[in-house]
Amino acid sequence: MKILKLSALIATCLLTSASVLAQEALNYKISGGSPIVNDDSSITFSVKAPFAGIVKVNGVGETLEMTKDSTGVWSVTTEPLSPDLYTYSFDIDGVRTLDPANIYTARDIAALSSIVIVPGGNADLYAVKDVPHGNVSKVWYDSPSLGMQRRMTVYTPAGYDPAGSRRYPVLYLLHGMGGDENAWSELGRAVAILDNLIAQGKAEPMIVVMPNGNGNLAAAPGETGRGLYTPKGEDSVAEYGAFEKSFPEIVDYVDSHYLTVPEKSGRAIAGLSMGGGHSWRISLWNPDMFDFVGLFSAAVRWNGSGVSEGDEELNEALARQFADAPSLYWIAIGKDDFLFDLNKDYRVMLDNLSLPYEYHESAGGHTWTNWRDYLTLFLPRLFRR
Amino acid sequence: MKILKLSALIATCLLTSASVLAQEALNYKISGGSPIVNDDSSITFSVKAPFAGIVKVNGVGETLEMTKDSTGVWSVTTEPLSPDLYTYSFDIDGVRTLDPANIYTARDIAALSSIVIVPGGNADLYAVKDVPHGNVSKVWYDSPSLGMQRRMTVYTPAGYDPAGSRRYPVLYLLHGMGGDENAWSELGRAVAILDNLIAQGKAEPMIVVMPNGNGNLAAAPGETGRGLYTPKGEDSVAEYGAFEKSFPEIVDYVDSHYLTVPEKSGRAIAGLSMGGGHSWRISLWNPDMFDFVGLFSAAVRWNGSGVSEGDEELNEALARQFADAPSLYWIAIGKDDFLFDLNKDYRVMLDNLSLPYEYHESAGGHTWTNWRDYLTLFLPRLFRR
C-alpha cells in the first residue's frame, strides 16, 4: 500500500471525532461560504436561517437587509467597498450574531465582530503575506508604581536574535479607551502592517511594544485573576495619569530585556485617542526619551480639560521638550473626528509658540480605518535620519 | 475641579464612539448577563430573542431547550456540572450562534464556540489566577526540510530572563488533527495550567514549545499568505511523516534561541491524538532526545496501520529507545476513546517485550476534558529525579 492512501485512511479514522465540530460549521454555509469578497470589491454575505423573518448585516456602511432564497439562505451583496478591514455582524430577528461561517473575529471592548478584508491599496498591508514574519509575545513586567505585574504585547522583527548583537529601535504603540494590550495587534493589524512594510523596505526593522494603558488594570479581559468578565470602557480612565507616570518602568524593562537602541534617537511613541493623550503627556514629561512622537486622533487634554496657552506648566513642559525637538512630531486626525477642534486648538498653540510639527488631516472620524492608515504613514518616517 | 471628576468628563467624551459598540453588546444581555455560573455549579444561559420560536443551548451535556419570558429573554439552567471548561453555542431557530453576551470564545478547527469555566477541582487550574505568569510567544522558525518558515507557540515560565544564566528544561507539546500551534494554549488551557502548577510548586518551571504539527501548513489559519480561509481537519495529515522527520529542526532552534537544558534529561515530549502519534514516532526515531514521553489518546499507528509485534522495524526502534529507557513513558486514554483498542494492543506489545511504561485509564473519550486533565497529571512528573 502506498503511504498516501494510508494517510487518507488515518484521516478518516481520526476525523470521527473532529468532524462533528467541523460539520457543525459547514451546515450553516452555502456553497462558497460567507463572506465572499467579489472581484469588484463588493462583499456577499449569507447565512442559512430558514425560520427567520428579518435578517440584516451591520458594519459595512448602511445596514443592509438580506433576502431569503427557496432553501432558507439569506444573502446580500454590498456596493463595491474601499479596500480595508471590515468588522460586521448579522442581525437575525433582533439577535446580534457573528457570521457562523466565518471563524475570524475581533473584539472591541465588550463586543465581538466578524472580520473580512477587502484587498487592494492600504488593505494589502493589513493582510498577512508570505513575507518574513516577526514574533509576537505576551510579556509580563513588574510595575512597582502601579503595584502589579502587567501584560504587554511585544513585536520583534524577523531576524531578531536574542543571542545576537544587532540592536533595534523601539516604537511604543498605545491603544485607546476600552482597549488593551491586544488592540493594536488585533483590530489595528499592526503585526501584518509591520511585517509587510519592513519586507518592502519601507520601514526600518524595529521592536514594537504595545502595553496596557489602563492604569488600574493588569491585562486584557480573561488574562488576570478577575476571570472571564465583560470589560467596560470606563475602566480605562479610572486611574487618570497613573499609567503615564509609570511609563519609564516599561522603557526600563524593554531596554533591559531586549536588544534595543537605548537612547532618544532609538525610541518613538504613538497612540490613538486616549493613547494619543498618553503619548502626548509621556513625551512631554520625558523630554529626553522619544525622538518620534505620533498623535493619532489624540485626546490632547491638559489636566483633563483642553489646552490653554495661559497654562504655564504646559508651556514650560513644551519648551523643555522642544529645546531638543523630536525629529518628528506628527499630528493626525480626521475631519469628522469629535476631537478635531481640540487638536485644532493644540495646533494653533504650537504655531503661536513656533514649535515644529507635521500635520496630516484625513477624511472620516474616530475610527480604526483611520488609525490603521495613520500607522502605515507614520512607520516609514521612523528611525531614518 | 478635582482630577477624578475631570477623568469622568473625559470618559464621557471619549465614550461617544466607543459606547456604540459596547451598547450593542449590552442590548442583548439580561441583568447579570450570560452565562452565569451558579453556586451549585449549574450554569444559567440566556439570550434575548423575542421573535424566535425555538432556542436551545448545545455543549453542556444534552442539548437543552430554553424557555422565553414575557420580555423575550430565553433562558435555561443546567443540572449541576462537573468543574471544567465548557464550550457551548446557542441554536436559535436552527441558526448556530455564539452567546452574544459572552466575549470569550475558542476555535476548534472550523467552528468557534463560547466558553465558560465551572470552578472547583481541576478546573481551578484552567482559570487564570493571580500568580506569576509566564510569557507566551508566537515564534517563527525555519524548516529547511519542510521548505518554509513555520510558527510555534512558546511558553517561558515566570522569571525566565533571556539575559540571565538560569537554564530550563523543555516540554514539546503537540496538538491533534485539525489543530495547530494555538490549540494547547487556547482550548487546552496549557498556559493557565502551567502558571498555576508552577506557582503551587507542583511542576518544575519549564519552557513549553507548542509547534504546528501539520507538515503541509506553516501556521494557524489567518497567519499565512493563504489569507482568511476555513480550515479543514484533513489538511493535518496531507504530508504523513514529514512533520515528525523535521522535528530535530525545532529542537535545534529552541536550544539555540532559549536558555534550555540541551540534553535528554532536560527534554519531554507529549501530544494528543495525532500529536500523540507524533510524540510516539519522534521519540522512537530520536532515542537520545527525550527523557519523558506522554501519549494522550495517541494514534499509535506504525506506518499508518496498527502496531504489530511482527514488525521488525518497530521492534528494533523500541529496543533502541528503551536501551536507555525514558524516565517516564506515560500512556493515557479514556475507556470510551475510539483509539482505546489500538492503545491496548500497544500496551500488550510493550508488556510482551517487557518494556516499562505507566498507564492511566480515565473515564470518557477523545475529548479536551481528558487532555487537559492528562496534562495536569503529566506535568508534575517531569524533570524531577
* pLDDT score for A228: 86
Cβ B139–A140 below 8 Å, yes or no?
no
Determine contact, residues A315/A353, Cβ cutoff 8 Å: yes
pLDDT digits 0-9 by tens, A311-343: 889 999 999 999 999 999 999 999 999 999 999
pLDDT digits 0-9 by tens, B262-304: 999 999 999 999 999 999 999 999 999 999 999 999 999 887 6
In the predicted model, is pLDDT for residue B307 greater than 90? no
Taking the C-alpha atoms of residue A18 and residue B237, their distance in angstroms, rounded to an integer, is 13
Global pTM reads: 0.92
Percent above pLDDT 90 for chain A: 81
Q: Any idea which of A178-192, A205-219, B302-316, B335-349 has the lowest mean pLDDT? A: B302-316
* pLDDT score for B239: 66
Q: How far is A142 from chain B (nearest CA, A)?
A: 10
CB count in 10 Å sphere of residue B79:
12
CB count in 10 Å sphere of residue A15:
20
Beginning with the edge strand found earlier in the chain, give each strand of the sheet holding B43-48 in spatial order.
B36-37, B43-48, B73-77, B67-68
Cα A82 to its chain centre, rounded Å, is 19
* pLDDT score for A336: 98
Determine contact, residues B379/B203, Cβ cutoff 8 Å: yes
**Angle between the B312-323 and B274-285 helix axes, to the nearest 10 degrees?**
70
Greatest pairwise CA separation for chain B in angstroms: 86
Q: How far is B385 from chain A (nearest CA, A)?
A: 30
Q: Which residues of B touch A13 (CB under 8 A)?
A: 299, 338
Chain A CB within 8 Å of residue B3 CB: yes
* pLDDT score for A238: 61
Mean pLDDT rounded to a whole number for chain B:
90
ipTM of the complex: 0.91
| pLDDT band for position A237 (cuts 50, 70, 90) | low
Residues 13-52 of A with CB under 8 A from B: 13-19, 21-22, 24-28, 33, 47-52
Taking the C-alpha atoms of residue A191 and residue A195, their distance in angstroms, rounded to an integer, is 6
Strand partners, B143: B148
Cβ A10–B240 below 8 Å, yes or no?
yes
Mean pLDDT rounded to a whole number for chain A:
90
Rounded to an integer, the average pLDDT of B154-172 is 96
Local structure of A65: helix, strand or coil: strand
pLDDT digits 0-9 by tens, B54-113: 999 999 989 999 999 999 999 999 999 999 999 999 999 999 999 999 999 999 988 999
| pLDDT band for position A18 (cuts 50, 70, 90) | very low
In the predicted model, is pLDDT for residue A211 greater than 50? yes
Determine contact, residues B140/B149, Cβ cutoff 8 Å: yes
Taking the C-alpha atoms of residue A38 and residue A58, their distance in angstroms, rounded to an integer, is 18
- Best interface-test mutation with A: which of B1, B9, B10, B114 has the largest number of A CBs within 10 A? B10
| pLDDT band for position A385 (cuts 50, 70, 90) | low
Peptide bond into A35 cis (omega under 30): yes
In the predicted model, is pLDDT for residue A219 greater than 90? yes
Taking the C-alpha atoms of residue A99 and residue A105, their distance in angstroms, rounded to an integer, is 9
Cβ B28–A240 below 8 Å, yes or no?
no
In the predicted model, is pLDDT for residue A78 greater than 60? yes
Question: Where is A283: in which H helix or E strand?
Answer: helix A274-285
Local structure of B44: helix, strand or coil: strand
Which range scores top for mean pLDDT: A160-164, B15-19, B246-250? B246-250
Local structure of A149: helix, strand or coil: strand
- Best interface-test mutation with B: which of A228, A243, A337 has the largest number of B CBs within 10 A? A228
Percent above pLDDT 70 for chain A: 90
